[in-house]
Structure 1
Amino acid sequence: MTDYDTPTEETTRGIELTPEHAPERMGELAATAEREGFDVAFASSHYFNRDPFVALTKMAEATETIRLGPGIVNPYDTHPVRLASQAATIDEVSDGRGVFGIGAGDRSALSNLGYDHERPLRRVLESFDVARDLWAGETITHEGTFTARDASLNLEPRELPVYVGAQGPHMLRMSAKHADGVLINAAHPDDLEWAAGQLEKGLDERSDDRGEFESLAFASTSVAADEDAAREAARPPVAFIVGGAADPVLERHDVDREAASEISDAVENGDLGEAFERVTPRMIDRFCIAGTTDTVADRFAAALEHVDGIVVGSPLGPELEDAIERASAALADAT
């Protein structure tokens, strides 16, 4: 069973790379992350950015050892069988380095595209269950939250570890019971401690044949030589995090619901400048790991009391290569 108490030398070091950059640039950033000792790189998936699987192909070409996968895709705007095929293709082109990050997706973004966000836990579980069968070479017929009839993949059988993006209690417990790992959408020790308790409930119901389970904090991070520059770069992701945060999360951090709603409204109206301006220092402290290398190292160490590893999430910092190097150094100090 996962030990949440003491970080070890085997602590997983992950990083999120956002395809707001051209695929070739994504390859360069992945190569930098590999040189800096990161174990896994996730390409985030948002409809307004470039395709994560195209980016991952370039990332695979530019690297040799780092594991690669989407972080995270959702099974609403792309059919789950298609996602299984795309993930398997990345595993193929990377010579077996593929991982599969899947979650329910952002409700507001899906609404923009006309998708209903119905039965998210069941849809995510069914999606990676079907993917595992397809990767094993099976022909599947599925009737549930989605339909697939006599579907199979024209690929050699393969195995990919499944990481579920989770924040709420039910998705956390489900991931611990059924997946290979979890990507906890949180940066603060209070959130991670609470999430660890939910994961333990799922692990209590986990079948022995499921193998080991890994919990990773998917933590928004901004690191730079200058503290103020790092914190300023944190405003955009914090605005999106706060705008979509559930009431219990806001209450845990004593963040005013009305202030969060104003940020959410500004984001939905496309007034991003106003949304970013409304981010307070407390919001940055509670929803991002931001500061100098030493500050970030201390925050990483506090997070690692509750998880098995960290995925350094966007924005990374005001200067990307510098931020990747500093985040690697901070993780080394923290572990």
Structure 2
Amino acid sequence: MRPATFSARIGGHGVSEVVDKALVVEEAGFDQVWTGNDLFGEPGIVTLTAIALRTKRIRFGSGVIDPVSLHPVQIAMLASGLQEVSDGRFLLGLGAGSDVFFRWAGLQPARPVVRTRQAVLAIRELLAGRSPAGLEGVAEGWTEQAVLRFSRPTPIYLGAMGPRMLELTGRLADGALPLCLPPRHVHGVVQQLSAGAAKAGRSIDDLDVAACVWASVSDDRDEARYLMAKHIALYSGSLSTDALAANGLDPQEFEHTQQLMLQGREAEAIASVSEAMLSLGIVGGVDDVVAQCAALLEAGIRHISFGPPMGPDAMIAVKLIGSTVLPELRRQLG
């Protein structure tokens, strides 16, 4: 059985701020830290390099790199380099990327599942010191000379939400980064990952499934709940209505909140977030957070990934989770 794993997903304004946060995450006792690399966003590759050089123990990952703005060869080269400077602690998180951002840059990639599949297969071969040429499922055009001079095997994780991407993750990846909103959505995620793994003659136990949740944690429960309500209000218009309905939530409630936000009535929008809507994330004090993680543990999840909004002060929340929540969850997981 896989060991219990706990990670934090962090962001910030600038490389130095994110690296400082990564150091706090390491000191708090987390096993992994993940940071983004969105097109037009923070310079994630630079940040990952700085994290590799300044941290000592923690494993760190890209959450996530897309294979459109960076060619699979470049991704494999970067992964190999990060493995070298970190003494093998890097985790390569890949994702399809945002078609909206690609359009801004004038890019017209293949369909999300296709481009992700092609990239995973090619990058794995490259990291193993082989050419992807002739491998079924990769893009055309590779030649036998397409071999890295310096390659280091690296675990590949996929950021996945939809059924087809989850099935692909189960078939091909070493790890999964599914966004579990609400946390109980993990049951459906596990089923889809398991189906994909079975098609490849594998078990879901072969994957490190990081159940990625929104978490707002504070000694002041009301403060934690307010911050989660604000976060939900901000994202109320970008959530899948099908996923909301499938998990017993009312899409019309989220639509109402979104309309208030669009009208500039933020305070009313935050106040409109109901108790049911708050269940989209994990929120409250230490005891509340431990209890709300139960659904993940009952589903057989061994890796919980805590992400924004974290708490009124994200780094105080990280320290609080590290000193109180993680020891109790590790005790429950044995």
- Secondary structure (helix, strand or coil) at the match of 1:322 reads helix
Q: Secondary structure at the match of 1:92?
A: helix
Q: Which residue of 2 aligns with 1:103?
A: 95
Report the structure number with the largest CA radius of gyration. Answer: 2
Of 32, 36, 46, which aligns to 2:38?
46
Calculate the TM-score normalised by the size of structure 1. 0.84
Counterpart selection for 1:138 from 119, 130, 139: 130
Q: Distance in 2 between matches of 1:56 and 1:153?
A: 21
Q: Is 1:104–1:120's contact at 8 Å kept on the other side of the alignment?
A: yes
Q: Deviations over 1:250-270 (max 9, x none)?
A: 212444445545666898x89
1:102: Cα distance to partner?
Answer: 1.1
1:185 aligns with: 179
User: Could you tell me how far 1:185 is from its partner in structure 2?
Assistant: 0.6
Residues 57 and 323 from structure 1, CA distance in 2 versus in 1: closer, same or farther, beyond 3 angstroms?
Answer: same
Distance 1:68 1:265, change over 3 A: farther
Tell me which of 328, 331, 334 is aligned to 2:329: 334
The Cα offsets for residues 76-128 of structure 1, whole Å up to 9 and x where unpaired, read as 33322222222222222211111011122344444444445642122112111
The AA in structure 1 aligned to 2:24 is T
SS at match of 1:34: helix
Cross-structure match for 2:199: 205
C-alpha displacement of 1:238: 2.9
Q: CA RMSD in A?
A: 3.2
Residue type of the partner of 1:83? Answer: I
- Structure 2 CA distance for aligned equivalents of residues 32 and 22 of structure 1: 16
TM-score by length of 2: 0.84
Partner residue, 1:153? 148
Q: Aligned AA for 2:165?
A: M
Q: 1:138 to 1:203 in 2, by over 3 A?
A: closer
Counterpart residue number, 1:289 = 282
Choose the corresponding residue for 1:77, options 69, 75, 88.
69
2:178 counterpart letter in structure 1: I
* Cα distance in structure 2, aligned partners of 1:89 and 1:191: 36
1:302 aligns with 2:295: yes
Give unpaired runs (5+ residues) of structure 2.
none
The aligned amino acid for 2:179 is N
CA distance in 1, matches of 2:171, 2:283: 32
Question: What's the counterpart of residue 312 of structure 1?
Answer: 306
Query: Is contact 2:76-2:123 (8 Å) kept?
Result: yes
Q: Secondary structure at 1:170's aligned position in 2?
A: helix
Where does residue 120 of structure 2 map in the other structure? 128
Classify the secondary structure of the residue corresponding to 1:167.
Answer: coil
Aligned-residue offset at 1:282: 4.0
The sequence identity of aligned pairs, in percent, is 26
Secondary structure of 1:38's aligned partner: coil
**Most deviating of 222-231 and 92-101:** 222-231
